[in-house]
Amino acid sequence: MAGHSKWHNIKHRKERMDKIRGKLFSKLSREIMIAAKQGGADPETNAKLRFAIKKAKSAGFPSENIEKILLKAQGKLEGEELHEIIYEGYGPFGVAVLLEIITDNRNRTASEIRRLFQKYNGNLGESGSVSWIFKKKGVFLFNGDVKEIENKILENFLEYVEDIKISDNEVELIVSPENYEEVKDKLDEMKMSYVSSDLTFVPENTVVIDDVDKAVTILKFAEALEDHDDVQKAHLNFFIPPQILEKTLELLK
């Protein structure tokens, strides 16, 4: 399984929900604000905003808060000036890193992110240094009877499938960004449950981390990036083999 999805699943199992909920709401607010400012405050005509609002609502984000954000985006309420930026670089052991950033202070964020890279023996790079490794995709992660899940996907979503990855009891469905919303709506209508779904950057190749000490370092680095208030999403192209991952997670408990 690709490193990005495995990391997503690791996070799902490790999250401390009270702490994450507050950070998640803050990040969702910024995502809605940026989308509304860039493409207008009408979700019917702004696909990026429509997706951001759907994601916020599915996380339990209050509708009245969404309305306030949209008013701020239109200048009808006072709000902070936000900037959307992509940061790229290499983390420890040559792992490529692509960060989606939303910040109200470019200089502060750049300085803090650079320090995180340096702390873990990585380097923040120039624009384009690693973005060629990642492609934007819609990704759905399922747990359970892999044969049953795979058969359902092929039976109902064959025209949308770009790739299916299977590992242990997990199935990962990859679709184009253009088809993501349609597939998600159809899955919800079928009541076909999934662990997670997102529009995300998928790495075209991965760095294998086959040592427990290295795996501990890379997971701590990834978590530190995700935990930063201005990082909307962190994409890394590592892969940890299952036997190494199991030992690593035991050490991180």
Listed as ranges, residues in the chain with pLDDT below 70 are: 1-21
pLDDT tens-digit map of 147-160: 999 999 999 999 99
| CATH number, residue 12 | 1.10.10.200
Q: Locate tokens 């199935």: which residue?
A: 171
N-to-C CA span, the chain: 23
126 sits in the region (left: phi over 0; alpha: psi -120 to 50; else beta) called beta
52 within some domain: yes
pLDDT tens-digit map of 178-210: 999 999 999 999 999 998 888 999 999 999 999
Between CA 200 and CA 232 the distance in angstroms is 11
216 within some domain: no
* Structure tokens that stand for 105 in this block: 């202070």
State the pLDDT at residue 2. 42
Q: Is the pTM of this model over 0.85?
A: no
- Provide Rg for the chain, Cα atoms: 18
Based on DSSP, count helices (H) and strands (E) in the chain, helices before strands.
9, 10
Domain with 68, as residue range(s), is 3-73
25 within some domain: yes
127 within some domain: no
Q: How many domains does the chain have?
A: 1
32 within some domain: yes
69 within some domain: yes
161 within some domain: no
18 within some domain: yes
